[in-house]
Amino acid sequence: MRLFRVLVAVSLGALGGFAFGPAFGGMSGAFAVAVAVAWGAAALAGVAAVALPRTPPTVVAVVGAVAVASAATVATGSGVGLVHGPWQLLTGAVPAEPTGPPLAAAAVVAGWSALAAGLLAAYAARPLSAALPPLACLVLALALGAAGPPLPAWYALPLVALLVTLLVAGRAEPPPPGVLAGGALTAVVAVAAAALLGPGAPSLGRPPADVRGLVAAPVLPRSGVSPLQQYLALRDGSRVLRLTGTSSRPGTLLRMATLTRFDGVYWTVGGDFRRAGKKLPAAREPYGRRVTVAQQVRVDAGELDWLVTAGRPTEVSRPGLGVDEATGDVAVPDDTAPPAAYSASSTITEATLDEILVADPVPVAGSPLPALPPQVRAFLDRAVAGQPAASDQILALYRAFTGKAGGFRYDQSAEAAGGHGYFRIQRLLTDKRGTSEQYASAFAALVRHLGYDARVVMGLRPRYDGDAFVAEGRDVDAWVEVHFADLGWIGVDPSPRANPIGTRPDAPRTISRSAPLDDPLQEAEQPPPPGEPEVAVDDREESSANRRAGRTGTATPLVLGLVAALVVLLVAAAPTAKAVRRLRRRHAPSDRLAVIGAWRETLDRLQEAGVRVGPAQTTGEVVRIAGSLGGLPALAATVDRAAYAPEEPGPAMRADAWAAAARVHGQVRSSMPLTRRLRALLDPRPLRR
Q: Which residues of the chain have pLDDT under 70?
A: 1, 127, 146-148, 169-209, 225, 285-288, 504-518, 523-573, 627-628, 687-689
Whether 338 contacts 303, CB under 8 Å? yes
Q: State in Å, rounded, how far the first CA of the chain is from the last one.
A: 56
Specify the DSSP element, H or E, that contains 424: helix 422-431
Query: In the prediction, which pLDDT does 642 show?
Result: 84
Whether 496 contacts 408, CB under 8 Å? yes
What is the Cα–Cα distance from 239 to 221, expressed in whole angstroms?
Answer: 18
CB atoms within 10 A of CB 179: 13
Query: In the prediction, which pLDDT does 632 show?
Result: 84
Considering the entire predicted model, what is its pTM?
A: 0.65
Specify the DSSP element, H or E, that contains 4: helix 2-18
**Which are the contacts of 493, defined by CB distance < 8 A and separation ≥ 6?**
436, 479, 480, 517, 519, 521, 522
Nearest of 329, 326, 371, 375 to residue 483 by alpha carbon? 326
Segment 536-548, tens digit of pLDDT:
334 433 433 443 3
Rounded to 5°, the CA angle 9-11-14 comes to 115
**Which are the contacts of 255, defined by CB distance < 8 A and separation ≥ 6?**
308, 309, 310, 311, 457, 458, 459
Whether 211 contacts 144, CB under 8 Å? yes
Query: In the prediction, which pLDDT does 664 show?
Result: 85
Query: In the prediction, which pLDDT does 612 show?
Result: 78
Query: In the prediction, which pLDDT does 4 show?
Result: 84
Query: In the prediction, which pLDDT does 84 show?
Result: 87
Q: Give 42's Cβ-side CA count (13 Å radius).
A: 37
Q: Tell how strand 261-262 and strand 267-268 pair up.
A: antiparallel
Domain boundaries, the chain: 2-212, 217-548, 555-688
